[in-house]
Amino acid sequence: MSAATQTGDAVALHRDILTTLLPAFVGPVAPEWVLARLRAGLGGICLFGENVVDPEQLRALNASLREANPEAVIAIDEEGGDVTRLFYDRGAPFPGNAVLGRIDEPELTRRVAAEVGRALAATGCTVTFGPDVDVNANPDNPVIGVRSFGADPALVSRHSAAWVEGLQQTGIAASAKHFPGHGDTATDSHLALPVVDVPLATLRDRELAPFEAAIAAGTRTIMTSHILIPQLDAENPATLSPRILHGLLRGELGFEGVIVSDALDMKGASGVHGIPEAAVRALAAGCDLLCIGADNTDAQISEIVDAVAQAIASGRLPVDRVRDAAARVRALGATAPAVPEGPAAPDVIEPAHDDEEIARVVGAFEVSDDASERLSRTSGIGTVIRVDTVANIAIGVAPWGPFAAEAVAERPSWLSRAEIVPLDEGSGLADPAALSGSVLVVGKDLHRHAFARAAIDALRAVRDDVVTIDMGWPSHDRAYADVATFGASRLVGDAVLAFVDGALAPLAAR
């Protein structure tokens, strides 16, 4: 073999390795190292909220990325609910999966997904990491919750298929996640390695059913989870497991699209091995495109490329596995819609919602009889206790609920007239009896946080006008959820404003 041939092979291999990587960067403009890597074959970029200023800036950014590499995958975590990147500054104008599941009209789910797809296509994105097709079997799940369509596998399956179909009709590729199912966990895989130890029959009937539906609907990609499932592989989390990815997902379920890893900077993937070694193991297991995480650097990419190249040279990682992965990623990028040449109409980015649509979301709320009775006799909402908990890393710090809705409202609502009292784990609640007017407590997953439970207990002990609004996934007994909204997107926040207005209206009319 000539020296020129060897050099050419080395360059091709280097390009193939780069094509399997999906890093991220900080800021609204791509750094030069990112553009240089894209020109050298980098597979694409994962966008976060901090990369987005407005739709036109995002379109320009994506045009610069695609100019550097026309086949680049431009991925974004836009689930159309609590997890949003396109609307990270103001909250998403979509209901979110759990609300769609409660309404249970697959055609509505299909339409919402198409709205998400059109907004992403207008800004030049090519893949969204959605839908979340996990069956939320555990109400204490700290990372899935309202990102799921529900706790029933059949319901989750039909809405997963509808979301994939609606999204992909716009040209944006879907990514059903988190394979083989993150719904029955009590640990956040961003922070540790969750274990799902249930019988194999349960896994097949519950966790796998929505993925089978998404595959049948044609999902272009599937994202793995960093969870340990002893019944399938007692040693490796799914992202690093050949048995789960090659054996189950490719072999048994017949998925032929791109397998994307969840972010490798999460402790569930790299807490033991480090990111470069996790990348090697993920590729060997069957992943094609590796999400590296947030705030990556050129030096970090070099470390990963070197680790993969060394694994190939030593025989640990077959070169054909890397070539196959790179070919799948390039095919995904090559079929993406072009970046639009001009800005999109505002209603393409953010569809308007009329009173009927808001009422449909309100109809998905679960409201106790006690809550209805307390609201019907109140003289007005005087105090709103805003419960802020440590943000789920996937959700981040996007504005949420009625607070997000009020911030962009054309007219002030009852919320603007109430006193907003912030409450978090580091702050205490003042004298509950001294709070003015009737009291609303608004938060997410209230039952999971001791400080929130303690504050609600203290309020209830001295007052009979307290109503709790849980905008997360409530406990089975609904002990701290007088009203359960099953989502905290801005649209759901609009629905909360309308719901309370409706509850107060009869009194105002008297």
Distance CA 499, CA 401 (A): 13
CA distances from 97 to 77, 101, 112, 126, 170 (A): 14, 6, 10, 21, 19
Residue of 262, 265, 465, 494 with catalytic role? 262
- In 3-state terms, what secondary structure has residue 506? helix
Cα atoms in the 13 Å half-sphere on the side-chain side of 95: 30
Question: Annotated catalytic, 197?
Answer: no
Catalytic residue, candidates 159, 178, 182, 190: 190
Peptide bond before residue 178 is cis, with ω within 30 degrees of 0 = yes
CA 86/CA 56 separation, integer angstroms: 11
Q: Tokens in use for 280?
A: 């090697």
Nearest-angstrom CA–CA distance, 246 and 308 = 19
> Residue 22, SS3?
strand
- In sequence order, the β-bridge partners of residue 224 are 179
H-type alpha helices, 335-470: 346-349, 355-363, 369-377, 401-408, 414-417, 450-462
User: Do residues 226 and 238 make contact, with C-beta atoms less than 8 angstroms apart?
Assistant: yes
Give the Å distances, CA to CA, from 77 to 116, 162, 249, 322. Answer: 11, 18, 22, 25
Rg (CA), the chain: 24
Known catalytic membership, residue 152:
no
- Residue where the block lists tokens 């999902």: 219
Using an 8 Å Cβ cutoff, are 75 and 43 in contact? no
Catalytic residues: 190, 262
